[in-house]
Amino acid sequence: MGQASRQHAGNARRRPEDTGTACNTTPMRVLGIETSCDETGVAVYCTRDGLLGQALHSQVAMHERYGGVVPELASRDHIRRVLPLARQALGESGLSLAQIDAVAWTQGPGLAGALLVGSGVGASLAWALGRPGIGVHHLEGHLLSPLLADEAPQMPFVALLASGGHTQLMAVESIGRYRLLGDTLDDAAGEAFDKSAKLLGLGYPGGPALSKLGEAGRPGRFRLPRPLLHDDSLNFSFSGLKTAVRTAVGGGLADDAARADLALEVESAITEVLAAKAVRAVRASGCERLVIAGGVSANRQLRQRLAEAQRRQGFRCYFPPPALCTDNGAMIALAGALRLQAMAEAGHPAGIPSGFSVRPRWPLESLEPVTAQPG
Ligand code: KG4
Ligand code: ZN
């Protein structure tokens, strides 16, 4: 990455009818805002016409020199970017602000200061427009992001959510009805990529850089552990991997070929465990659909492993569009739209926000499904 800003509108006019999430009511156009970490994303999603426009700015170039995200810098940059990006996303959608029916923003989990920016702007916009607003769970956005792909899954499905902060297997029955099947006991998969990349002298974020270096690698020179691969549970543990990588790096690797070989082995160790546990979760659930989401779902080797597994074992694997694997506004607009639609259909539509709060720590499995209110 590293480019100052990027914008994409892949699948822009995708229709949600095929996903089982289409509305029977009036279409709703939702402006979604993502500012939980180091990307500022804004998008417009329509429950009838799909993704209408989006704009994204990655802060990677700004944080790169510090080797990781600096929270205060992240918040200040979100403040600078969010309104111009909102104008850009609206411009692409061909809509004016007055034509937006509702606003959604990432309420958590994430960096508190960064979340405050998107939540403050989102709630204020909704209030000023006199439209409903909703705080969205960032991971629910990732979980539902494959619904923005050309081939979208029907619910129920099993989901592997692998990002910089989370590695979870979930049974997804309907919007908000998520059952935790497995979790990481320590580091997340993305964190294992990032920490190993740092030990290999690569920049931040480490996952894409390590994967790129590994393309030139050859298997066999190194052998790293596959933590909990043969354990019966659906849990993960990646913290031992970085210790093994540190030992392998030792006082320095002989040459660039050795660095590439080790990068390939790190990628293989992480993706072998992720793929094996995901397949085990699908088999145990009896469900035939597997969704992979979160930043690590962009990983080439993970995609290859799962493509092979689905051919051999007869289940279907679904990924978000590649540009929507990492953080973006489209997944927040989508998740917000689906929740708002479900609330309206259940007879308790969301109101105009009179304030906002953020939830930097917010377990996904604590989310409630939208149900009809008694009476
Ligand atoms: O979902 P995400 O953008 O942000 C969080 O919510 O954490 O995920 C970022 C994580 C980082 O750890 C990054 O290194 C990893 O996803 N990542 C990758 C790849 N692209 C992003 N890991 C492996 N291979 C990739 N191609
Ligand atoms: Zn994320």
Model pLDDT, residue 1: 32
Q: Which atom of ligand 1 is nearest to the CA of 190?
A: 12
Q: At what angle do helices 300-313 and 206-214 cross, to 10 degrees?
A: 70
Model pLDDT, residue 22: 52
**What is the pLDDT confidence band of residue 374, given thresholds at 50, 70 and 90?**
low
Total residues found in the chain within this entry: 375
pTM over 0.75: yes
In this structure, are residues 31 and 333 in contact, taking their beta carbons and an 8 Å threshold? yes
* DSSP code for 37: S
Cα separation, 95 vs 29, in Å, equals 9
Q: What average pLDDT does the segment 350-371 reach?
A: 94
Q: Which two tokens stand for residue 17?
A: 């009818």
Q: Which two tokens stand for residue 317?
A: 């694997």
Query: Which amino acid belongs to residue 151?
Result: E
Pocket, ligand 1, Cβ cutoff 6 A: 37, 163-165, 190, 193-194, 205-208, 211, 294-296, 298-299, 326-327
Cα separation, 222 vs 283, in Å, equals 31
Cα separation, 93 vs 73, in Å, equals 30
How does pLDDT run across 363-373, given as a tens digit for each residue? 998 999 988 76
**CATH class, 156-319 region:** alpha beta
Compute, in angstroms, the gap from residue 274 CA to the centroid of ligand 1. 14
Compute, in angstroms, the gap from residue 139 CA to the centroid of ligand 2. 7
For the chain, what percent of residues have pLDDT higher than 90?
Answer: 88
In this structure, are residues 300 and 11 in contact, taking their beta carbons and an 8 Å threshold? no
Cα separation, 170 vs 291, in Å, equals 10
Query: Which amino acid belongs to residue 223?
Result: R
The pLDDT of residue 17 is above 90: no
Of 92-96, 188-192, 330-334, 371-375, the poorest mean pLDDT is in: 371-375
Model pLDDT, residue 204: 86
**Domains 3-147+325-366 and 156-319 in one fold:** yes
The closest residue, in CA terms, to atom 2 on ligand 1 is 295
The pLDDT of residue 14 is above 90: no
The pLDDT of residue 16 is above 70: no
The pLDDT of residue 348 is above 90: yes
Residue from 106, 145, 163 to probe ligand 1 pocket by mutation (most atoms less than 8 Å from CB): 163
How does pLDDT run across 229-267, given as a tens digit for each residue? 999 999 999 999 999 999 999 988 889 999 999 999 999
The pLDDT of residue 25 is above 90: no
How does pLDDT run across 310-322, given as a tens digit for each residue? 999 999 999 999 9
**What is the pLDDT confidence band of residue 19, given thresholds at 50, 70 and 90?**
low
Other CB atoms within 10 A of residue 316 CB: 15
Domain borders along the chain are: 3-147+325-366, 156-319
Query: Which amino acid belongs to residue 232?
Result: D
Q: What average pLDDT does the segment 111-135 reach?
A: 98
CATH architecture for residues 3-147+325-366: 2-Layer Sandwich (3.30)
Beta-bridge partners for 56 = 6, 41
Model pLDDT, residue 26: 87
Compute, in angstroms, the gap from residue 293 CA to the centroid of ligand 1. 10
Other CB atoms within 10 A of residue 191 CB: 23
Q: Reply yes or no: is the peptide bond before residue 205 cis, omega within 30 of 0.
A: yes
Short-list 300, 293, 347, CA closest to 320: 293
How does pLDDT run across 281-328, given as a tens digit for each residue? 999 999 999 999 999 999 999 999 999 999 999 999 999 999 999 999
Compute, in angstroms, the gap from residue 241 CA to the centroid of ligand 1. 17
**Arithmetic mean of pLDDT over the chain:** 92
